[in-house]
Chain A
């Protein structure tokens, strides 16, 4: 009995292993059936984005739908093709793998009108990504301890520091050398011993630090320096009143621009809908978040806050990071749509910020500097045609914002 069962078990195991190996080999053969041709991969990439596969699928991680890495190892190509074309039908027909997927992900992929070649191209792209993962550059520490100077012009601060340190070292060396020379000379003179009394007094004179410190000249200089430094600090301090550069308050939801704008490369305008049409860029309303988060990361406690807001009807009270005074009028569409300024110009490397911080000082000096130095984006804009013509007739340099009234008070204050 025992032997029999053992044999049966052994046989079954062998069969299973064989099957597995065989099927594995077959599926591995499938992987090889997928093209590695550059052109096909390129086409696949385009398809992957154009058909918005990337909204729900990624290679190497799960999104709304399954991770696509190695899908050709798990499923037969024909199965993949028919699933892509009409997943709903397969589930309805009771295909066990399709039903299992449905039970796991709790949703049905929409049918896509892709032909077999296109699907193969997409798989080629997936294979390519899987086999040649892009090495992500480690984001630098965004602590904000060192902030680039306003306007970012001139020598970088680190160079300056190095130069200062070098100068100090050189000074100390010079002092040491001088001291050495003095002692050598003194010794030499004393050894000679042919000095008058006066000279002897000078040579043997003891240097008194306390007398030096008490001399009116030194006191005067020190007092002067202290006052000047104090005044400078006070004035500098006053200039920073109300300047919140580096301000990175804790937000009610731990939202990360790094994930959304950086990792997933979601277009800024997808959420900040007003940026090209109005004064405000707009903080997205909850319904925009829900476009994705109705199915992505639904169990995250941070995302749960969205649902709570939706249920209670109370909007989320974000903490405002960029606060312009009410007396200043700033319009996003003028800068982003008309001027084609990158968001990062004022907001910093927002796609790398896990917590948003105020990058620019947002002072009037900062605005004015930029208006002085920035060329007007006149290309293809009929509004500026005549102005450019007039400007070029009298000047060789490019037309700056300041040249067309960009420094006038009533451009921002009214």
Chain B
């Protein structure tokens, strides 16, 4: 078997072998010692003084131990036992995003959010935003009660004044508007309905920060039904996406990732996987996972869809439409789509109804409706109406709206109508916001009636037709906030507690639709326990209107013209999304899966364009550029991005907040004003009027990309293509051999180690690189579970980020490259591989042997243990770690005003999110992945209490349970029935067999850096791309 000869690189500086980069990476730590505090330069005498004082203080303090209090409950709640966690099914809701979750609480505080496995939509998966949302609950920037004109008032006064004003407006027939993002809760909608019937001049205007109005509009044109159907990627053999980042941000990414990953799972019995074509401008997460990716300009998207339409129409015997321009791989995609009729799926991220009409036509001709597309259960995540929102802007600007209530939305910031609405606010008589903080909109209105956080409220959500998910509070409200639907009811003159209202609505509307039980309480209790209720959708006809296609194609031909200038593709990031959670430091510091940048918004630019502008990106050092969009200029750093379509720029929305809070304010620029309109919908693509010029001003982007580089050890990634894999399961594997006494042997045959035998458990993990999409949900889950500090942008620049699990992103050329020039060409559109990297829990751990104080040791269950209280901070272990996964606490990150961004450890409110079972580390100690040993211990104990062995799946660790693609499998190799044992096809342990002698039969499984024989307990599975074997080049 031929070994993989591809060259991998993490950043352009590594590709070009920049001398500075090589210098920095030759040493373990790029930092210079001593670590300077503000002034630094402390000398020996200072040291002695401090030491003397320290000893004196320590001995004085030690004389009398402080009196510590133990304060029990006054009346202990029945279900709460201190130190015993409780779990509640609930639903994460943020605007139009909703995910069924299970919330872990300790002593009545939510501390961790995980996916609800009973949900047939997300199936237990989460993403970074869901994982991070628990910290937003403890955000100090939240309002502590209602305000009027910025001053605190009480609810009675607010209700009296708002009701009076509403009454006055209604009396004279003035217009009232309720503005919100998509509202998923049917009961909230009912409450709004009651408000509207009380004040009949009220209209409810819905918008989405990142709109999908074009899709529902297109469905209205195509089928006469305005809706967004649900998709099932798991049934698709051929997937074509034109600009839809469905694994990252598009509509329901967790659900789609779950489905998609099912088509990417291969083993000896199942050697089939889907083939995924992606056509896009920015290198998105989805594009990174595609088998064939073609960079296109935004202006090429419409004609490409038309070309695919015509290609399919020719085969289906339907009439062609006008226009259409093909690009690379489009014909291949057409042929394969046709070959997999009924088992394929074409999606487009465009919000242009004309494009979406053509996409509907393609899917109709392919017979995908009823298989991969389900119109019977439409998705409700995006209900925004861009037209209505546009009208609202105009009306408010004209002063015809007398009263406006912004229900949990921030349109001044996150809508295209922001400036019009801001200008119109002063013309209205009554302005109310229900925001949880004084955001851009709330600070411009008169009354703020803050809503509960989702973890504090009772509610429901209809995620798709007939599929409900319930929200139950996991903590009593922290502040004097009130649930918005209750406010609506109050203002409508109904004095009812929202919980009662909700229950009554369920009794009236949904209880009768099920047949399981006739007792409402039983039904309700079960619904709350499960968190989800499925009552089924309603069937709808899908007769495609082909005449709509012809007119849509004409519009496309008119609107998509390749100009000469730059084109801008706006997008929302995996971490920050639409910016509503911008004040969450976990999301700000999450390294973007593709660019690996933290704490910043930047314009992504192709290598060629960057060269033309004289911009280079070395170690995060780049330039600020002036980005001009339709006359507006912003200054923003440029990030040279391999895979960016030439002539295009990418810029994320969600940044540039001015009133989100201390963490988010002034981070990056705001891209919402750049949203344009096309065919009545808000379009994220700007196809003309974009220019970019270099300013020459230097700027540093805090990228984690080149940290922890392997320098020349290339076989960390082992990959192949499906056709190779089909006749050799070990395709792409590299088997290192070491020379010994005249022959080459496996590295494990030469060892100084006596080895370990694990009689009890043998914890291990497999990471399927074929499934891993790089979404980074695991990194945030780990941060929440293990009390990992946020270090801030400067410390990331200093390469002192603390993540225990990181996602390494490697670029490579499609073919083994002969020379560097060829690689650079490949950098225009590289292949991408994601590799989650964490402590490998080596059986022959190099860190353990070098620790002078035995602070890092091996357990009898295969874990590499890190004992903080023993560590003296020599950092020898980190030096000796071949995987660079150990993290040093350069500072005290908790209770330290120098790290205000570390919200979870620097104020009493934020600290409520800390996991009480995990130590908050002190300055000067090393830390790393513990394999969530606290969860392992808790799981074992639960089994012991019941006198049995733990059942596989019972013990799950934070990263594995967060993973929406099930790429991470954790379990016990000593349990022959565990999923991991079966995945690895490991032979059952014989008595006396050491951990390193276990026989793994899965040919795809490999150890990173096998040649050094550290024998990790983390196995990676080769990446298999569904590409044809290329013979050219």
Measuring CB to CB, which residues of chain A are less than 8 angstroms from any residue of chain B? Answer: 241-242, 244, 247, 249, 273-274, 276-280, 282-288, 309-310, 313-320, 323, 325-327, 329, 331, 333-334, 337-338, 380-383, 386-387, 390, 393, 404-405, 408-411, 413-414
A383/B948 in contact, CB under 8 A: yes
Instruction: Please give, as numbers and ranges, the residues of chain B lying within 8 Å of A338 by CB-CB distance.
Output: 941, 944-945
Given the interface pairs A334-B944, A383-B944, A405-B860, the reply to whether A329 lies near B917 with Cβ below 8 Å is yes
Instruction: Name A405's contact: one of B65, B72, B83, B861 (CB within 8 Å).
Output: B861
A319/B933 in contact, CB under 8 A: no
Instruction: Please give, as numbers and ranges, the residues of chain A lying within 8 Å of B941 by CB-CB distance.
Output: 331, 333-334, 338
Stretch at the interface among B257-265, B275-283, B436-444, B865-873: B865-873
Instruction: Please give, as numbers and ranges, the residues of chain B lying within 8 Å of A405 by CB-CB distance.
Output: 760, 859-861
B72/A278 in contact, CB under 8 A: no
B930/A410 in contact, CB under 8 A: yes
> CB-CB contacts of B857-898 with A at 8 A, as 1s and 0s?
101110101111110000000000000000000000000000
B536 close to A (CB within 8 Å): no
A-B contact count (CB 8 A): 151
Given the interface pairs A287-B75, A413-B867, the reply to whether A390 lies near B859 with Cβ below 8 Å is no
B760/A410 in contact, CB under 8 A: no
Instruction: Please give, as numbers and ranges, the residues of chain B lying within 8 Å of A313 by CB-CB distance.
Output: 74
Instruction: Name A410's contact: one of B69, B75, B865 (CB within 8 Å).
Output: B865
Instruction: Please give, as numbers and ranges, the residues of chain A lying within 8 Å of B943 by CB-CB distance.
Output: 383
Give min CB distance, B176 to chain A, whole Å.
Answer: 42
Residue pairs across A and B with Cβ atoms less than 8 A apart, 18 shown, are A241-B62, A242-B65, A274-B84, A279-B917, A285-B74, A309-B74, A314-B74, A317-B70, A317-B71, A320-B70, A323-B65, A331-B941, A383-B940, A386-B949, A408-B860, A409-B859, A414-B934, A414-B937
| Complex: chain B residue closest to A315, CB-CB | B74
Since A278-B84, A317-B70, A405-B861 are in contact, a sample of 18 more A-B pairs with Cβ atoms closer than 8 Å, ordered by chain A residue number, is A242-B62, A273-B81, A276-B945, A282-B76, A286-B72, A287-B74, A315-B74, A323-B68, A331-B937, A334-B944, A404-B759, A405-B760, A408-B860, A409-B865, A410-B859, A410-B933, A411-B937, A413-B869
B919/A414 in contact, CB under 8 A: yes
> CB-CB contacts of B77-98 with A at 8 A, as 1s and 0s?
0000111100000000000000
A318/B72 in contact, CB under 8 A: yes
Give min CB distance, B286 to chain A, whole Å.
Answer: 37
Instruction: Please give, as numbers and ranges, the residues of chain A lying within 8 Å of B855 by CB-CB distance.
Output: 409
Instruction: Name A408's contact: one of B759, B857, B944 (CB within 8 Å).
Output: B857
Chain B 381-410 residues near chain A, CB threshold 8 A: none
B73 close to A (CB within 8 Å): yes
Instruction: Please give, as numbers and ranges, the residues of chain A lying within 8 Å of B171 by CB-CB distance.
Output: none
Instruction: Please give, as numbers and ranges, the residues of chain A lying within 8 Å of B75 by CB-CB distance.
Output: 285-287
A315/B71 in contact, CB under 8 A: yes
Expressed in whole angstroms, the Cα–Cα distance for A405 and B62 within the complex equals 32
A274/B81 in contact, CB under 8 A: yes
| Complex: chain A residue closest to B759, CB-CB | A390
Expressed in whole angstroms, the Cα–Cα distance for A331 and B75 within the complex equals 23
A327/B868 in contact, CB under 8 A: yes
Instruction: Name B74's contact: one of A242, A280, A286 (CB within 8 Å).
Output: A286
Instruction: Please give, as numbers and ranges, the residues of chain A lying within 8 Å of B631 by CB-CB distance.
Output: none
| Complex: chain A residue closest to B76, CB-CB | A285
Chain B 104-152 residues near chain A, CB threshold 8 A: none
> CB-CB contacts of B904-922 with A at 8 A, as 1s and 0s?
0000000000000111000
B868/A413 in contact, CB under 8 A: yes
Instruction: Please give, as numbers and ranges, the residues of chain B lying within 8 Å of A309 by CB-CB distance.
Output: 74
A382/B868 in contact, CB under 8 A: no
| Complex: chain A residue closest to B74, CB-CB | A315
Expressed in whole angstroms, the Cα–Cα distance for A317 and B991 within the complex equals 54
Expressed in whole angstroms, the Cα–Cα distance for A408 and B848 within the complex equals 14
Expressed in whole angstroms, the Cα–Cα distance for A413 and B871 within the complex equals 12
Instruction: Please give, as numbers and ranges, the residues of chain A lying within 8 Å of B867 by CB-CB distance.
Output: 409-410, 413
> CB-CB contacts of B54-72 with A at 8 A, as 1s and 0s?
0000000010010111111
Q: Is the contact region of chain A dominated by helix, strand, or loop, or is it mixed?
A: loop
Instruction: Please give, as numbers and ranges, the residues of chain A lying within 8 Å of B917 by CB-CB distance.
Output: 279, 329, 414
B868/A287 in contact, CB under 8 A: no
Instruction: Please give, as numbers and ranges, the residues of chain A lying within 8 Å of B868 by CB-CB distance.
Output: 327, 413
| Complex: chain B residue closest to A310, CB-CB | B74
Given the interface pairs A331-B941, A387-B759, the reply to whether A318 lies near B83 with Cβ below 8 Å is no
B870/A409 in contact, CB under 8 A: yes
A274/B83 in contact, CB under 8 A: yes
A318/B71 in contact, CB under 8 A: yes
Instruction: Please give, as numbers and ranges, the residues of chain B lying within 8 Å of A249 by CB-CB distance.
Output: 67
B742 close to A (CB within 8 Å): no
Give min CB distance, B974 to chain A, whole Å.
Answer: 9
A277/B947 in contact, CB under 8 A: no
B69/A319 in contact, CB under 8 A: yes
A409/B860 in contact, CB under 8 A: no
B933/A414 in contact, CB under 8 A: yes
| Complex: chain A residue closest to B940, CB-CB | A383
Expressed in whole angstroms, the Cα–Cα distance for A309 and B867 within the complex equals 41
Instruction: Please give, as numbers and ranges, the residues of chain B lying within 8 Å of A241 by CB-CB distance.
Output: 62
> CB-CB contacts of B944-977 with A at 8 A, as 1s and 0s?
1101110000000000000000000000000000
Instruction: Name A285's contact: one of B72, B860, B918, B940 (CB within 8 Å).
Output: B72
| Complex: chain A residue closest to B920, CB-CB | A326
B72/A283 in contact, CB under 8 A: yes
Instruction: Please give, as numbers and ranges, the residues of chain B lying within 8 Å of A331 by CB-CB distance.
Output: 937, 941
Instruction: Please give, as numbers and ranges, the residues of chain A lying within 8 Å of B870 by CB-CB distance.
Output: 409, 413
A316/B72 in contact, CB under 8 A: yes
Instruction: Please give, as numbers and ranges, the residues of chain A lying within 8 Å of B74 by CB-CB distance.
Output: 285-287, 309-310, 313-316
Give min CB distance, B950 to chain A, whole Å.
Answer: 8
Instruction: Name A404's contact: one of B73, B760, B869 (CB within 8 Å).
Output: B760
Give min CB distance, B146 to chain A, whole Å.
Answer: 25
Instruction: Please give, as numbers and ranges, the residues of chain A lying within 8 Å of B991 by CB-CB distance.
Output: 390, 393
Instruction: Please give, as numbers and ranges, the residues of chain B lying within 8 Å of A283 by CB-CB distance.
Output: 70, 72
Instruction: Name B859's contact: one of A288, A316, A408 (CB within 8 Å).
Output: A408
Expressed in whole angstroms, the Cα–Cα distance for A329 and B572 within the complex equals 42
Instruction: Please give, as numbers and ranges, the residues of chain B lying within 8 Å of A274 by CB-CB distance.
Output: 81-84
Instruction: Please give, as numbers and ranges, the residues of chain A lying within 8 Å of B940 by CB-CB distance.
Output: 383
| Complex: chain A residue closest to B974, CB-CB | A386
Instruction: Please give, as numbers and ranges, the residues of chain A lying within 8 Å of B83 by CB-CB distance.
Output: 274, 278-280
Expressed in whole angstroms, the Cα–Cα distance for A382 and B946 within the complex equals 8
Given the interface pairs A273-B81, A387-B760, the reply to whether A317 lies near B76 with Cβ below 8 Å is no
Instruction: Please give, as numbers and ranges, the residues of chain A lying within 8 Å of B71 by CB-CB distance.
Output: 315-318
Expressed in whole angstroms, the Cα–Cα distance for A44 and B689 within the complex equals 98
Give min CB distance, A114 to chain B, whole Å.
Answer: 32
| Complex: chain A residue closest to B786, CB-CB | A414
Expressed in whole angstroms, the Cα–Cα distance for A404 and B757 within the complex equals 12
Expressed in whole angstroms, the Cα–Cα distance for A314 and B72 within the complex equals 10
B76/A287 in contact, CB under 8 A: yes
> CB-CB contacts of B755-783 with A at 8 A, as 1s and 0s?
00001100000000000000000000000
A280/B82 in contact, CB under 8 A: yes
| Complex: chain B residue closest to A282, CB-CB | B82
Instruction: Please give, as numbers and ranges, the residues of chain A lying within 8 Å of B944 by CB-CB distance.
Output: 334, 338, 381, 383
Task: List 10 tightest A-B contacts by C-beta distance, closest first.
Answer: A279-B83, A410-B865, A285-B76, A405-B860, A409-B867, A285-B73, A278-B84, A320-B70, A278-B83, A280-B83
Instruction: Please give, as numbers and ranges, the residues of chain B lying within 8 Å of A411 by CB-CB distance.
Output: 937
A319/B759 in contact, CB under 8 A: no
Given the interface pairs A285-B73, A313-B74, A414-B919, the reply to whether A319 lies near B81 with Cβ below 8 Å is no
Instruction: Please give, as numbers and ranges, the residues of chain A lying within 8 Å of B62 by CB-CB distance.
Output: 241-242
| Complex: chain A residue closest to B942, CB-CB | A333
Instruction: Please give, as numbers and ranges, the residues of chain B lying within 8 Å of A413 by CB-CB distance.
Output: 865, 867-870, 919
Give min CB distance, A259 to chain B, whole Å.
Answer: 19
Instruction: Please give, as numbers and ranges, the residues of chain A lying within 8 Å of B70 by CB-CB distance.
Output: 283, 317-320
Expressed in whole angstroms, the Cα–Cα distance for A386 and B944 within the complex equals 13
Expressed in whole angstroms, the Cα–Cα distance for A325 and B920 within the complex equals 12
Instruction: Please give, as numbers and ranges, the residues of chain B lying within 8 Å of A286 by CB-CB distance.
Output: 72-75
Expressed in whole angstroms, the Cα–Cα distance for A413 and B941 within the complex equals 16
Instruction: Please give, as numbers and ranges, the residues of chain A lying within 8 Å of B84 by CB-CB distance.
Output: 274, 277-279
Expressed in whole angstroms, the Cα–Cα distance for A249 and B70 within the complex equals 12
